[in-house]
Structure 1
Amino acid sequence: MRLLPLLLALLCTAGCAGRPTVIPALPQPVDGSAITLETPAIGRVAMFMSTPSAPAGHRPLLLIHSVNAAGSAYEVRPLFDHAKATRPVYAIDLPGFGLSERSDRAYTPRLMTDAVLAAAAEIRRRHGDVAIDALALSLSAEFLARAAVEQPQAFARLALVSPTGFSGKKPRHGAPGSTRGQAWLYRTLSWSAWDDGIYGLLTRPGTIRYFLEKTWGSKTIDEGLWAYDVLTTQQPGAKFAPLHFVSANLFSADVNTLYDGLTQPVWMSHGVRGDFVDYRATAWYAGRPNWSFTRFETGALPQFELPEPFCAALDRFLAGEQP
Structure 2
Amino acid sequence: MFDCLRSRTLTTAMGEVAYVTNELTAARDCPPLFFWHGFGGGSSHYEWSAVYPAFAAEYPFFALDLPGWGASEHRDQSYTVAGYVDHLLECLDRLTTEPAVVITSSLTAAFAIQGAIAHPQRFRGLILTCPTGLSDFEQDYRQTPLAQIARQPYVDTVFYRLGVANSLSVQSFMANQQFARPSRISPEMVATYTEVAQSGGAEFAVLAFVRGDLCCDLSRFLPHLTVPTYIVWGEQAKLPPVAVGQRLARLNPEAIRAFEVIPEVGLTPQLESPALMIALIDRYLGQLLASP
TM-score by length of 1: 0.78
Residue 34 of structure 1 and its aligned partner are, at CA, apart by: 2.6
Residue of structure 2 equivalent to 1:290 = 255
Is 2:174 aligned against 1:198?
no
Aligned to 1:78, the other structure's residue is in SS state: coil
Residue of structure 1 equivalent to 2:173 = 211
Structure (1 or 2) with the larger CA radius of gyration: 1
- Aligned identity (percent) is 26
| 8 A contact 2:84–2:111 mirrored in 1 | yes
Aligned to 1:112, the other structure's residue is in SS state: helix
| 8 A contact 1:217–1:274 mirrored in 2 | yes
CA distance in structure 1 between the aligned counterparts of 2:150 and 2:215, rounded to whole angstroms: 18
Question: Please, what is the CA RMSD of the aligned residues?
Answer: 2.9
| 8 A contact 1:166–1:280 mirrored in 2 | no
Residue 54 of structure 1 and its aligned partner are, at CA, apart by: 11
Q: Deviations over 1:56-93 (max 9, x none)?
A: 94111000101112111100111211111221111111
Is 2:285 aligned against 1:313?
no
Distance 1:192 1:227, change over 3 A: same
| 8 A contact 2:100–2:124 mirrored in 1 | yes
Aligned to 1:48, the other structure's residue is in SS state: strand
| 8 A contact 1:217–1:275 mirrored in 2 | no
CA distance in structure 1 between the aligned counterparts of 2:179 and 2:260, rounded to whole angstroms: 17
CA distance in structure 1 between the aligned counterparts of 2:38 and 2:84, rounded to whole angstroms: 11
TM-score by length of 2: 0.85
Distance 1:313 1:245, change over 3 A: same
CA distance in structure 1 between the aligned counterparts of 2:198 and 2:234, rounded to whole angstroms: 29
Residue of structure 1 equivalent to 2:222 = 259
Aligned to 2:182, the other structure's residue is in SS state: coil
Is 2:209 aligned against 1:241?
no
Aligned to 2:238, the other structure's residue is in SS state: coil
| 8 A contact 2:51–2:277 mirrored in 1 | no
Matches within 5 A, 1:102-181: 102-124=74-96, 129-165=97-133, 171-172=137-138, 181=142
Tell me which amino acid in the other structure corresponds to 1:132.
Answer: A
Residue 188 of structure 1 and its aligned partner are, at CA, apart by: 6.0
> Size of the alignment, in residue pairs?
279
Matches within 5 A, 1:75-94: 75-94=47-66
Residue 187 of structure 1 and its aligned partner are, at CA, apart by: 8.9
CA distance in structure 2 between the aligned counterparts of 1:257 and 1:96, rounded to whole angstroms: 27
Aligned to 1:136, the other structure's residue is in SS state: strand
Q: Deviations over 1:136-161 (max 9, x none)?
A: 11111111111111111000110110
| 8 A contact 2:31–2:60 mirrored in 1 | yes
CA distance in structure 1 between the aligned counterparts of 2:240 and 2:119, rounded to whole angstroms: 30
Q: Which moved more, 1:274-283 or 1:225-234?
A: 274-283
Q: Deviations over 1:266-316 (max 9, x none)?
A: 101111125346232424534613211111111122123332222111111
| 8 A contact 1:181–1:250 mirrored in 2 | no
CA distance in structure 2 between the aligned counterparts of 1:271 and 1:231, rounded to whole angstroms: 26
| 8 A contact 2:150–2:159 mirrored in 1 | no
Distance 1:227 1:251, change over 3 A: same
Matches within 5 A, 1:27-42: 32-39=5-12, 41-42=13-14
Residue 112 of structure 1 and its aligned partner are, at CA, apart by: 1.3
CA distance in structure 1 between the aligned counterparts of 2:25 and 2:11, rounded to whole angstroms: 28
| 8 A contact 1:161–1:269 mirrored in 2 | yes
| Structure 1: stretches of 5+ with no match in the other structure | 1-29, 174-178
Aligned to 1:139, the other structure's residue is in SS state: helix
CA distance in structure 2 between the aligned counterparts of 1:117 and 1:73, rounded to whole angstroms: 18
Q: Which moved more, 1:215-224 or 1:138-147?
A: 215-224
